[in-house]
A = this chain, B = another copy of it.
Amino acid sequence: MTNEAERRPGETSITLPDAYDAGLYFIGRIRTPWARRKDCPRNGLQSDETCTIEVDPPFAAALQNVEGATHLIVLYWMDKAARDLVLQQPRHAEGSRGTFSLRSPARPNPVALSVVELRRRDGHRLVVHGLDCLDGTPLLDIKPYFASTDSRPEARVDRADLKAEPQDP
């Protein structure tokens, strides 16, 4: 599970539990223009590219009514991420930081989420804007985005110790 390329000085890892507590199904794949991590945009809003969410046929019926939402929350599995890092050394930070204060893929359960704009549905495929992940990333879930509960424009993150782009994940 560990990608050595992600390790940097100042990082702290733990011994993970011997067994998993629950299991996930990969229910589709995310098709993006980005084949290498260094090609991925810093976040999905920094690119004009659209991506395609391909839902596997057994789960496709669950897409009914999804076009009623202008925006969706997409959960996906960062299958190349380290899971044992509790302190990490971000590229733009002075010191190490706790995993739960970061949006890094490396975390005990590497479930990533992105808020995307739904452009159109073609059968079991959704064309969306706002993803930044590698081509072929396993899909876990799709949820409608409700501004009433999911949008908090007043939210702030104090990253004064970061050297650049303080509000950018």
Chain A residues with CB under 8 Å of chain B are: 12, 14-17, 20-27, 43-45, 55, 58-59, 61-66, 68-73, 75, 77, 79, 83, 86-87, 96-103, 107-109, 111, 113-115, 117, 130, 138, 140-159, 167-169
11 contacts between A and B (CB under 8 A): A21-B77, A22-B77, A43-B148, A45-B149, A59-B108, A63-B98, A64-B97, A65-B97, A100-B142, A103-B146, A146-B157
Given A17-B25, A44-B149, A169-B146, verify A87-B62 contact (CB < 8 Å). yes
- The answer on a CB contact under 8 Å between B21 and A16 is no
B151 touches A167 (CB 8 A): no
Residues of B within 8 A of A68 (CB): 101, 157-159
Whether A61 pairs with B141 at a CB distance below 8 angstroms is no
B152 touches A71 (CB 8 A): yes
Complex Cα distance, B59 from A107, in Å, reads: 10
**By the criterion CB–CB under 8 Å, are A20 and B12 in contact?**
no
Interface of chain A, main secondary structure: mixed
By beta carbon, the residue of chain B nearest A77 is: B22
Q: Across the two chains, which residue of chain B brings its CB closest to A75? A: B111
Return chain B residues, CB-CB under 8 Å to A63: 98, 100-101
CA distance A145 to B159 in the complex (A): 12
Determine the distance from Cα of A86 to Cα of B141 in the docked complex, in whole angstroms. Answer: 12
